[in-house]
Amino acid sequence: MQCYACTIFAAIKLNNMKQLLTIILALFFVTDSNAQFFKELYKDFLKYGTVYAAGDYRSAYETSDKKYLIRTPDGAGIYDVPEVVDVTEYFPADYRYGFGIRKLARFDYERKPGNFWTGDQNRERQNGLLAPTSAIKGFEYLFHWEKERRRGEEWDNERFFIRHTGKYHIVKLEQRYQGAYDFNYQSADVRARLPIGKKFAISAGAAYRTHERVYGVNPYEIWVSALDENGDQVNYWYELAYEYGYQDAFYVTNIINPQTGEEEQVFGYFWWDPQGNRIASSDLQFRDGAYKRLISQYNRDILGNTSQFGLVSPVVGFDFYHYDSNFWVHLYGTAYLPYHKYVKGDKDDYGRVPLSYLFRNSWDQYGLADAAKGEQWWDYQGGANIGIKIGKSIGIFADAEYTRMWDSEFFITSFGINYTFR
């Protein structure tokens, strides 16, 4: 039987997850004379799926360590009674709201956490999103978008996941954006699958992945460490401040050391910001304050002009799954082998992608060497879920997930013991 949903996804070029979700939801309201088409679409794609919209609103974090400063009142002198000002940082209430549509099979040891789906990826996470092999054969998906605020910072989270698992194949498309970690990537994964017995399977194939962050390259460090052909410094740290509108002025004065009573000569530089405010009384104070933010701004300005990176990698994986009511073990893992090939990104005259992760350790004070070949690496994902019931009252469990891609890491673990009174 033809997979109508697969046909639709193959025919549509999608820019983001929200666009895809809009298309899916629109299918509920489209009327067409070809009733069979929509019947098969429902059976193949929508049946047992759940559309949800939910969120939460809660009190914000509040520190017990209050901070204060003193301020001279208007019209008063610096030695008059000051005003005491509470400068403790207070945050607005935390919130999360989102919506989506999902159709994900649960493994036998997984339980639905409530009567309703809320889209909370921490509370309602499922191992099927990370394990290479699904709990069932067939079609699964998750399309989720949410807005979140914690401690006054706001960001979006998105996850698009679609997979078809057969006895001898796995096809998966995924897009994920974690605003709190500045992690944004897309992937397309095609593998052959080989079952070995009823509990174990291995898989191998190829994956195409993208990422937007530049990992392992610090543009400021390259700029400030640059040397010319004679080994002389090219850029001085303070020149960057001038480029961003900061100015300094040299001063020299004599003071009496209150400890020794001797006269000392003091000199240094005052610093002003682009608005004309004096912000530092020495180079050291300037470098320890505003200049640190300036370095971050420079890196953002340089790296913000880079295009998206895309690479192809061989991928292998495994699954082991055993379950009965008193004991279960689920082990799974995926490895992206160290034979990565960047096929997308800004290239240099040698056809390389110099700001890719491949050249993260190839930059020095002279820039990227003409002969640099890059350094391969391993990316991997894995997890384990183990549960044991000892008699009718005692249960022990442990659950762990880990993902490493480039320099981004995500992990979560949980473990414990349960005792039920009878």
Residue 403 lies in a domain: no
The amino acid present at 201, given as its one-letter code, is: A
Window from 182-191, 353-362, 377-386 with minimum mean pLDDT: 182-191
pLDDT class of 247 with cuts at 50, 70, 90: very high
pLDDT of residue 118: 63
Percent of the chain predicted with pLDDT > 90? 21
The amino acid present at 251, given as its one-letter code, is: Y
pLDDT of residue 206: 94
pLDDT in tens, 260-304: 988 888 888 999 999 999 999 899 999 988 999 999 899 888 887
Q: Which residue has the higher pLDDT, 363 or 19?
A: 363
Mean pLDDT of 134-155: 82
pLDDT class of 124 with cuts at 50, 70, 90: low
Structural domain of 240? 219-303
pLDDT higher than threshold 60 for residue 24: no
Kindly list the distances between the CA atom of residue 96 and the CA atoms of 51, 99, 147, 297, 359, in Å, as whole numbers in the listed order.
Answer: 17, 10, 6, 29, 38
Whether residue 334 contacts residue 372, with contact meaning beta carbons closer than 8 Å, is answered with: no
pLDDT in tens, 59-118: 888 888 888 888 888 888 878 888 888 888 888 888 888 888 877 777 766 666 666 666
Residue 270 lies in a domain: yes
Residue 225 lies in a domain: yes
Residue 277 lies in a domain: yes
Whether residue 368 contacts residue 354, with contact meaning beta carbons closer than 8 Å, is answered with: yes
Whether residue 392 contacts residue 422, with contact meaning beta carbons closer than 8 Å, is answered with: yes
- Which residues in 358-376 are b (16+ Cβ under 10 Å) and which e? bbbebbeeeebeeebebee
Rounded-to-integer distance, Cα 326 and Cα 391, Å = 8
Per the structure, the count of domains in the chain is 1
Strands 278-280 and 379-390: unpaired
Residue 236 lies in a domain: yes
Residue 195 lies in a domain: no
- Summary mean pLDDT of the chain: 81
Window from 12-26, 111-125, 209-223, 267-281 with minimum mean pLDDT: 12-26
- Averaging pLDDT over each range in 41-45, 56-60, 319-323, 359-363, which range is the top one? 319-323
Backbone angles phi, psi at 287, to 5 degrees: -70, -30
Mean pLDDT of 394-401: 88
- What is the CA 362 to chain-centroid distance, rounded? 24
Rounded-to-integer distance, Cα 169 and Cα 139, Å = 12
Residue 260 lies in a domain: yes
Rounded-to-integer distance, Cα 290 and Cα 244, Å = 11
SS (H, E, C) 316-359: EEEEEEEEECCEEEEEEEEEECCCCEEEECCCCCCCCCCCCHHH
pLDDT higher than threshold 70 for residue 19: no
pTM score, whole prediction: 0.72
Mean pLDDT of 184-194: 89
pLDDT in tens, 226-241: 888 888 888 999 999 9
Rounded-to-integer distance, Cα 244 and Cα 226, Å = 19
pLDDT in tens, 34-54: 566 556 656 666 676 778 788
Residue 233 lies in a domain: yes
